[in-house]
Amino acid sequence: MFSPGALDAQASSGVDPAEVSAIAHETAAVLVGRGRATDDPELTRRLVSLVDELGMATVAELWAGRPAVSLPGALWRLYAIHESVRRDAVGAAADYDLGRQLADVQHVIAGAAEPPSPEALRDLVDAILTGVFDGDLAVALERAAAFCRIISVGRAHRADERDGHDERGAGEATRSAAALLDTAGDLERAASAWRAGNLD
């Protein structure tokens, strides 16, 4: 993996975009391949905590620009979800709690603990990301998609509650809910591609 300094050096050196794309796909394949090839819980823990070691900006620089239905694009979305819950577990728990009442099938797919406390939500996103490396990657992607759908429903509902007295907050929550629905669709398509053997 590139350090932040190495990525900055690559960006400033005028590297060919095709080379940047190749690096993104190769690092994603190596990361997933290495994680899935071992039963080492410590390695899995380090892979789940990758953002702690590299920083979110580095992970974004590496994978955020890749197509949604690609291995680096799917990993970027999984790590972004993981990080967003770590940063605001209380808000995620409130959205999830409301959303699960309106999307109970998705709640079963996501597999959250009851009740969906901030700690339970942190555990859930850890478990989803862990599944990339020691479970069925397609199932991990589908669980993440279900999680996004539930949060989206809850956030959209809370946006409605703000209408008329907090238009800015309502607008931000509505846009975030819509983006989460897009992410859920991306993850579901990535899961299908993985099962078909063409998520690279």
Q: What is the mean pLDDT of residues 29-55?
A: 93
% of the chain exceeding 90 in pLDDT: 70
**Residue 125 is encoded by which pair of tokens?**
């996103």
191 vs 166, higher pLDDT: 191
* Beta carbons of 79 and 55 less than 8 angstroms apart: no
Residues 75-90 have pLDDT tens digits of: 999 999 999 999 999 9
Percent of the chain as helix, strand, coil, to the nearest 5:
80, 0, 20
* Beta carbons of 112 and 64 less than 8 angstroms apart: no
Average pLDDT score, the chain: 89
Q: State the pLDDT at residue 114.
A: 80
Compute CA distances 48 → 56, 133, 169, 174, whole Å: 13, 9, 31, 29
**Interior/surface letters 182-198, b for 16+ CB within 10 angstroms, e for the rest:** ebbebbbbbbebbeeee
Q: What is the mean pLDDT of residues 190-196?
A: 97
- Residue 146, classed as helix, strand or coil, is helix
Q: State the pLDDT at residue 96.
A: 94
Count of alpha carbons within 13 angstroms of residue 35, beta-carbon side: 23
Q: State the pLDDT at residue 115.
A: 85
CA distance 78 to 128: 8
CA distance 23 to 103: 38
Q: Is the pLDDT of residue 4 over 80?
A: no
pLDDT band at 1; cut points 50, 70, 90: very low
% of the chain exceeding 70 in pLDDT: 92
**Interior/surface letters 77-114, b for 16+ CB within 10 angstroms, e for the rest:** bbbbbbbbbbeebebbbbbbbbbbeebeebbebbebee
CA distance 107 to 179: 19
Q: Determine the Cα angle at 130 with ends 126 and 134, to 5°.
A: 165
pLDDT band at 183; cut points 50, 70, 90: very high
CA distance 181 to 77: 12
pLDDT band at 121; cut points 50, 70, 90: very high
Q: What is the mean pLDDT of residues 98-107?
A: 88
Residue with tokens 């095709």: 18
Q: State the pLDDT at residue 192.
A: 97
